[in-house]
Amino acid sequence: MFMTISTTGTPELPATDLGFLLHKHPDKAQTFSTSHGTAHVFYPEASPERCTAALLLEVDPVALVRRGKGKGRGGAPDAALAQYVNDRPYAASSLMSVAMTTVFKSALRGDCRALPGRVAAPLPLRIEIPALPARGGAELVRKLFGPLGWEHVGVEPVPLDERFPEWGDSRYVRLVLEGELRLSDALRQLYVLLPVLDDAKHYWVAPDEVDKLLRAGEGWLAAHPEHRLITSRYLSRRWGLTRQAEQALELVRLAESDDLDVESVDNAVDESTDTPERPVPLAQHRREAILSALHGAGASRVLDLGCGQGQLVQAMLKDVRFTEIVGVDVSMRALTIAARRLKLERMGERQSRRVELRQGALTYTDKGLRGYDAAVLSEVVEHLDLPRLPALEYAVFGAARPRTVLVTTPNVEYNVRWETLPAGHVRHGDHRFEWTRAEFREWAVTVADRHGYTVAFTPVGPDDPEVGPPTQMAVFTLAESDSASSDKRTSTHANTNEREKEAKAA
């Protein structure tokens, strides 16, 4: 059983980073023992331009039969076992998928401390499996991989015997997948779909297989047109388990279509609970601070990322200096409310050409967000789980790369000043974290350094001498002629450090 994973690269983003993402060094050939044999990982090629990792699984038929005896259905070796013993050895199958969990455990989870930006970003991938057992044939293989974001899904039936074409095709196909995907997404697809195509799981399907399936299927399975076939085959047609999985997927679909009950609710609450001090509500302070920073940066084409119910978009529309305003949010519900607030339906043509609302997840790169003057992330970062933050960071600072980025977030130190807030509580139920001034600075400076920006900090709302302002804002500016030259990066670093020091001194 054999699979190769290749990527291409540039001097700045070398292909050999694949070694970090897979947690397997390109200079080494490594061997792992799995429950059914031995897995080898090695790199047939490893240059900055092109890197290929190969996973070869040698199945130990004796171990397989022994296991089959002990654990197979009814105690007897499964009939399906025969294929692993007798059949061609290079078939990828459920055994391969089990081997992947041993060998590429961290990569499947998308963990990579060494290169958090890389692991969160799609990369040009080519995955080849020369002999994939495919019950349902080439057509089913295309149906399964087709909707998963690959640019090219190459499926060629493998003839039963090349010398006798009249014998027809074997049950194997050669699969080549090409496209830009995150490595962990690609691996999780294979982890599920290899056994689905093989359609003969070699081990007893335990109830925790449902959880494994849902975890590996996160982000793609619920919306897959063939989800029923996938769950049913993956769970070896165990009806009860399949139904359990289907119900869970249905909930995911519901949540996606009606996303953010939480966020839109607390976004609505935002204006009232966040702003006990009248007459100027904090949300208004924030919008004013943002508008004035945008003017300062001379921005006219602006992204409002995580625009919520569109209050800032509305304020920008009233200002003719903003010629193009794009509000992005993951919540369809928030966007619907925003559209109503802006009266998009009844807007004149001239106005409506200035504004666009689009649904999107900020943790995914989006080519359509490139080339803007500025992006605003107003009270958004704290809604993401910390491990998802690098993905957002990359999508905004690495991929969209507007000249200016404004980020506002609560200053947790100020929480003691909210009379209504019980000690130790965050301001909203959906805040995953709230940062001190120092924590925010540390994050912002690191992000700026990593992506060639300088950063300055501005208080929003009354700046308390002890605990600081209720809201903190970072203004990121793309370093002049940021052509990724290393000198520039160093000077950026120096700048941000200087600012840091000044800020501390102040």
Which residues contribute to the site for ligand SAH (CB under 6 A)?
260, 263, 267, 270, 306-308, 311, 329-331, 334, 361-363, 378-380, 383-384
Structure tokens at 482: 């940021």
Q: Which is nearer to ligand SAH, 232 or 311 (CB)?
A: 311
Strand order in the sheet with 471-478: 355-359, 324-329, 301-305, 374-378, 404-410, 471-478, 453-460
Nearest to 193 by CA among 250, 153, 235, 145: 145
Q: Which is nearer to ligand SAH, 287 or 403 (CB)?
A: 287
Q: Which is nearer to ligand SAH, 261 or 442 (CB)?
A: 261
Q: Which is nearer to ligand SAH, 19 or 306 (CB)?
A: 306
Q: At what angle do helices 94-103 and 183-198 cross, to 10 degrees?
A: 150
- Residue 41 Cα distances to 38, 64, 365, angstroms: 10, 21, 30
Q: Which is nearer to ligand SAH, 210 or 400 (CB)?
A: 400
Name the minimum Å distance from CB 271 to ligand SAH: 8
Q: Which is nearer to ligand SAH, 2 or 443 (CB)?
A: 443
Residue 75 burial (C-beta neighbours within 10 Å; 0-12, 13-18, 19+):
exposed
Q: Which is nearer to ligand SAH, 39 or 444 (CB)?
A: 444
| Phi, psi at 33, each rounded to 5° | -95, 135
Nearest-CB residue for ligand SAH: 308
CA distance 3 to 231: 24
Residue 73 burial (C-beta neighbours within 10 Å; 0-12, 13-18, 19+):
middle
Q: Which is nearer to ligand SAH, 41 or 396 (CB)?
A: 396
Q: Name 205's Cβ contacts closer than 8 Å, sequence gap at least 6.
A: 235, 236, 238, 241
CA distance 294 to 411: 21
CA distance 346 to 349: 9
Name the minimum Å distance from CB 181 to ligand SAH: 18
110: left (phi over 0), alpha (psi -120 to 50) or beta: left
Q: Which is nearer to ligand SAH, 41 or 307 (CB)?
A: 307
Name the minimum Å distance from CB 304 to ligand SAH: 7
Nearest to 313 by CA among 342, 351, 285: 342
| Helix extents (H) in 146-238 | 183-198, 208-216, 227-234
Nearest to 474 by CA among 434, 432, 445, 494: 445
Q: Are strands 301-305 and 324-329 parallel, antiparallel or unpaired?
A: parallel
